[in-house]
Structure 1
Amino acid sequence: MASATAIVGVAYLLTGAGLLVLLREPLRRPDKPGSTGFALAVLGISLWPLSLGVNYFVAGFAPSMALWTVRLSAASVVSVGWFLVAAEVTGRLSLSRTVAATAVAYVLVELSLVVTNGTHGLVFGPATTLDGSIPVVAYGPWFWLQTALNYGLIAVGTGLLVAEWSRSSGLRRRQTAVLSVAVAPPVVANLATLFGPVPTVHDLTPFGLVGSGLLLSWALYRAEFLDIVPVARQVAMAEMQDAVVTLDDEDRVVDCNRAARAQFDIPPSYAGDPIGTYFPSLADAPATDGGETLADGDDSAADGGPSSPAVVTRTVDGDSHSYSVSVSPVVEAGRTVARVVVLRDITPIKRREQELTEREAELELLRQILSRVLRHNIRNKLTTIRGNADLLAEGATGDDAARVGRIVEASDELIALSEKAGTIEHLVDRPDETATYDLRVVAERVVARVRDRYPDASYVVSGSETCTVETASGVESAVECLVENAVEHNDASDPTVRVAVGCAPSGAEIRVSDDGPGISEHEREVIRRREETPLAHSSGIGLWIVSWVADRCEAELSFDVDETGSTVSLRFASEN
């Protein structure tokens, strides 16, 4: 008999020790909703069989009753912990200081009544005896009241979980289902122990706790409880900053979140009101069984998915506000039974769009003034200055001839600058324009034009006799900028410019080389970093044109500079 009792005691101890393993996850993730309550529940269900197992190896009334008190407290800890798990997981309650203090006070009141039981007999009566080392308790009124309270907490918590299960889906549905069922085995076992349908002195509750332990293990490691904690949909909707309104199939309001009520002054008695009561512009929107679009009558989604967002305006606190509207139909049995309308306040975006539109109009006007009026007028005036300077140069000698020469040179530079500005205007105005180029022909035409302006330099065109690319416009202007730049900034006594055309299956390439001082690292870095400093220099404007054309053509622009001069390459991919 003694050995059988010891086996039962060891079984209880092993059960309690095994259940303690479940504390690992809530202790690792204390910030997850339900972690604290889960830890309390696990601690309680572990203390129950542990204290009962120890009870089988002690003798005497006082030690046995002390261990029975531990089990009594463990029952309260389990009930409080279970309620907190359900309340936190379903979003009905958060663990605040007030909630924690109330839970602690509940357990302390119970302990104080047990300690003082000799004076009032509310917890157990004088008829309490021992069967071996196990108490056979004559339960008092407080015990039954506490049992009712504990079962009430468990019932409320389980009810919250079942309700959450009924309206959830996916992972959250699995989690709440397992938690709802996990409470059943120990409850059944405990009721069997309390009301005696099974004739035994042994407490059957720990065996039910084994079943709970298995289910909770599945929840932790298979349903990923405390690892992945989905947000309850009703909590997410309630806390959204966007206004969310649910309509039935007759466009009556059946639900709305806090943001909708606050932003649109919707009263608590909104249920059943037509949508037009609060959103007149939405009342006239078309409705179909496949999906709906409010406010502007766009075609709805053919597959019943969310419709395309529309924009409606509404006066809020005297100011006009714009809202993007998206509508998601709720489809059952092939027909729309409800619609979820989400309204997002996009007033700041709309105001910013208006400001940008006005700014773009101002910039366009300024561009027209600078590019089409001033540039045109400046070029005409410069042409007049240049022509008169040529006439003065015919009869000028000495210092006068030098001064006139400087006037002619400055006029030529400004005219060239005006032409480059015209090229930039062309690139900006026609961003999608394409053209077909024979790079060899481009090279020869460019060299011919630059030779007319700079006849003292030597020019060499080499490479493939023909090489055709189809790409964005502006290639010839970019090559001309490179050739002109190679001559204009070349300080060699006999400057030479070489233009090489290469054509291969991998793509086409045009290279412009000179024997001058080379393009400075500063200018090359500025082009790479897209800074505006080079715009102060004529050469910089030319390089910017080259860079813009390379971007438009998706061509690779590279610089090779050494002591012999500079080589600038434009490489076009084979698809061009």
Structure 2
Amino acid sequence: MVGLIGGSLVGLSIASGIASVGLALYLSRHRGRPGATWFMASLTAQGIWAVAYGLGLTLTDPGLRAAAEALAWIGMNCTGPFFLAFALEYTGRSTVTQNRWVPVLLLSPMATLGLGVTHPLHTLLWRDFRFASVFDLGTVLYSIQPLGYVTVILSLSMAGIGVLLLVETMLAYGKIYRRETVAIVLSPIPASIPLLVWLGQIGPYPQLNFTPALLLTHVTLDAYAFSSTSMFETNPVTQRAAERSAVDDLDDPLLVVDGDQRVVKLNDSAQALFEISMEQLPRSFAALVGTDLDTLRTTGDLSLDSRTYGVSYTPLETPDGGRVGGIVVLYDITTERNQRQQLSVLNRVLRHNLRNEMTIVRGHADSVQSNWTDSQLLTQMNSIIGASDRLLSISEQMRDFEQVVDREIEQQAVDCLDFIETVRMDVRDTYPEASVAVVADAAPDHVRTDPTVLSLALSTLVENAIRHSDDPVPTVELFCSDDDADETVIFQVKDTNDRIPENELAALGADEEQPLQHGRSIGLWIVNWAVTAVGGQLRFQYESGNVATIELPADTHRD
């Protein structure tokens, strides 16, 4: 009659086996995900081990007892290899389980299976098999043979390697796996220690292997790690695949540099660019590229074989924040650099030549106008003078905007009332015939912005309004106010002109530049670019005249 202790060992062993197989069945919904099938196989082998051992403790027939022990050995020695295969595939190292290494992983379980099934015919796993009852159980003693030790130790070692792979990967890929990692680290401990005690025949009950009974703790922790969380939904394969794609699949040349500024890895594009193979690494970054990494990061570009590359550097860090090198990506910017240079030259030549030539045209037109009395000719001269003035105005606007584009934006506290008064006076110097008024009764004290860029935007709006007015005395008002609810400072330019054509305003929000209808369009583009540069928003509406509104964030750091 099996006693309380004996019954507990039998019950716990069988319960561990049933729980292992049950967890495997539960995880079958993840079949096809990385590692899921191998983990189910490991759990099934573990279940066979526990159930066979638990049932074996109730058997008294020598043949049946030996068969149960052999089946337990098969399950025990298949658990480790299957778990290692799971860990390799789950952590993104599936190539190991999909090539010639598969037979190596399966060698131990296949050998154990063959030896276990044929055990009555040999003594390669153990010998001197005999009953040595304890706690009224069918416990046995036998001398484990060297090959038997090899199979068990190999299975244990594979399981240990699998645990280390999981721990390393999960710690490397973020906090999402930290609790699961603790569960995985702890889960084999309760089962591994009694297994080693049994293998060494240590303690008062060498005929008892407590491991199958303690596998219930192992299964419980595994169930937490792999079923109550999202480890199969979000596994490290994605992150590891992203790393491989970043290095191997990026079209731009990519170099991985260690802490000593040695190139330790190149993608295919970098190998082709520098005409070097992976077998020739590691190699000094400066020797390979022609300049040291610090200089390259400072200059921001690299010239190679008549091509120009922009440089991006991303540091590489260990999970604890230690620097271990970095990734250098080279972006071919030759076309962009050439286009920028061509546009700069074109802009400078056109602007200078346009101004010089139009000044000559206007001078001759003025001369003709002052010396001729023919009304038709004078009308034509007026048209020429008007066109010349508009072109010269565009040239001036482009000069001003080029200066803004080339400058670094400098935010500073600006007195709102003084600022718009300065804009008004500057415009009046150019257009003394116009009526430009300032309305700033509720103006805030300050706004934080770049005064040069904002001044260009406001003066351009005012000048546009004056030039396109049909009144003998163009009327423009400059407003400044704040909106406490939105924490913004608002500048407005109001005129009494006809509505700005919708196609010109729509062009400002288009993905591609639209054809300019007349001189006002370039002015609106300049305003739009300037407002964007200072972090503001621009909008237009019509209220018995055009109202252009510029909204800027309120100054929260007033002097």
Give the TM-score of the pair, scaled to structure 1. 0.64
Cα offset, 1:395, TM superposition: 1.3
Aligned 8 A contact 1:244 1:259 in 2: no
Q: Measured at CA, do residues 156 and 33 of structure 1 come closer, stay the same or move farther in structure 2, by a change above 3 Å?
A: farther
Mark the runs of 5 or more structure 1 residues left unpaired by the alignment. 284-293, 299-307, 331-338
Which has the bigger relative contact order, CA under 8 A and spacing at least 6? 2
Q: Measured at CA, do residues 134 and 478 of structure 1 come closer, stay the same or move farther in structure 2, by a change above 3 Å?
A: closer
In the alignment, structure 1 residue 463 sits paired with structure 2 residue 439: yes
Cα offset, 1:267, TM superposition: 7.3
Please give the per-residue CA displacement for 1:512-558, whole angstroms capped at 9, x wherever unaligned. Answer: 33444312332222223475326452111222233234345555433
Q: Measured at CA, do residues 343 and 410 of structure 1 come closer, stay the same or move farther in structure 2, by a change above 3 Å?
A: closer
Indicate the residue corresponding to 1:377 in structure 2: 356
Indicate the residue corresponding to 2:42 in structure 1: 41
Cα offset, 1:438, TM superposition: 4.3
Amino acid at match of 1:561: Y
1:55-74, aligned counterparts within 5 Å? 67-74=68-75
In the alignment, structure 1 residue 565 sits paired with structure 2 residue 545: yes
Q: Measured at CA, do residues 444 and 160 of structure 1 come closer, stay the same or move farther in structure 2, by a change above 3 Å?
A: closer
Aligned 8 A contact 1:481 1:542 in 2: yes
Indicate the residue corresponding to 2:479 in structure 1: 501
Distance 2:98 2:297 in 1: 40
Distance 2:338 2:455 in 1: 35
1:457-496, aligned counterparts within 5 Å? 459=435, 461=437, 463-464=439-440, 471-473=450-452, 478-486=457-465, 488-489=467-468
In the alignment, structure 1 residue 390 sits paired with structure 2 residue 375: no
1:247-258, aligned counterparts within 5 Å? 257=264
State the secondary structure of the residue aligned to 2:499.
Answer: coil
Distance 1:208 1:417 in 2: 86
Aligned 8 A contact 2:316 2:324 in 1: yes
State the secondary structure of the residue aligned to 1:395.
Answer: coil
Query: Residue 198 of structure 1: which of 199, 205, 211 is its match?
Result: 205
Aligned 8 A contact 1:389 1:408 in 2: no
Q: Measured at CA, do residues 495 and 182 of structure 1 come closer, stay the same or move farther in structure 2, by a change above 3 Å?
A: farther
Distance 1:535 1:316 in 2: 40
Please give the per-residue CA displacement for 1:439-487, whole angstroms capped at 9, x wherever unaligned. Answer: 24643663675463x8xxxx57363489786752265654454345445
Cα offset, 1:567, TM superposition: 1.8
Indicate the residue corresponding to 1:152 in structure 2: 153
Amino acid at match of 1:520: P
Query: Residue 187 of structure 1: which of 172, 183, 195 is its match?
Result: 195
Query: Residue 96 of structure 1: which of 95, 98, 118 is its match?
Result: 98
State the secondary structure of the residue aligned to 1:567.
Answer: strand
Query: Residue 493 of structure 2: which of 501, 512, 516 is its match?
Result: 512
Aligned 8 A contact 1:534 1:540 in 2: no
Indicate the residue corresponding to 1:81 in structure 2: 82
Query: Residue 540 of structure 1: which of 514, 517, 521 is its match?
Result: 521
Distance 1:314 1:451 in 2: 52
Please give the per-residue CA displacement for 1:25-51, whole angstroms capped at 9, x wherever unaligned. Answer: 965766887655544333223222323
Please give the per-residue CA displacement for 1:58-84, whole angstroms capped at 9, x wherever unaligned. Answer: 897876666455323212322433554
Please give the per-residue CA displacement for 1:113-165, whole angstroms capped at 9, x wherever unaligned. Answer: 6666677787899998998998788979xx84762342231354367479889
In the alignment, structure 1 residue 366 sits paired with structure 2 residue 346: yes
Indicate the residue corresponding to 2:175 in structure 1: none
State the secondary structure of the residue aligned to 1:207.
Answer: helix
Cα offset, 1:381, TM superposition: 1.7
Q: Measured at CA, do residues 357 and 264 of structure 1 come closer, stay the same or move farther in structure 2, by a change above 3 Å?
A: same
Q: Measured at CA, do residues 167 and 528 of structure 1 come closer, stay the same or move farther in structure 2, by a change above 3 Å?
A: closer
Amino acid at match of 2:82: G
Give the TM-score of the pair, scaled to structure 2. 0.65
Higher CA-based Rg: 1
RMSD: 6.0
Indicate the residue corresponding to 1:207 in structure 2: 213
In the alignment, structure 1 residue 446 sits paired with structure 2 residue 427: yes
Indicate the residue corresponding to 1:333 in structure 2: none
Cα offset, 1:24, TM superposition: 7.8
Distance 2:259 2:462 in 1: 68
1:118-197, aligned counterparts within 5 Å? 144=145, 147-157=148-158, 160=161, 178=186, 181=189, 184-188=192-196, 190-191=198-199
State the secondary structure of the residue aligned to 1:533.
Answer: coil
Q: Measured at CA, do residues 279 and 212 of structure 1 come closer, stay the same or move farther in structure 2, by a change above 3 Å?
A: same
State the secondary structure of the residue aligned to 2:475.
Answer: strand
Identity %: 17
Q: Measured at CA, do residues 179 and 423 of structure 1 come closer, stay the same or move farther in structure 2, by a change above 3 Å?
A: same
Q: Which region of structure 1 is more displaced relative to structure 2, 525-534 or 354-363?
A: 354-363
Aligned 8 A contact 2:16 2:214 in 1: no
Distance 1:154 1:323 in 2: 49
Distance 1:267 1:446 in 2: 69
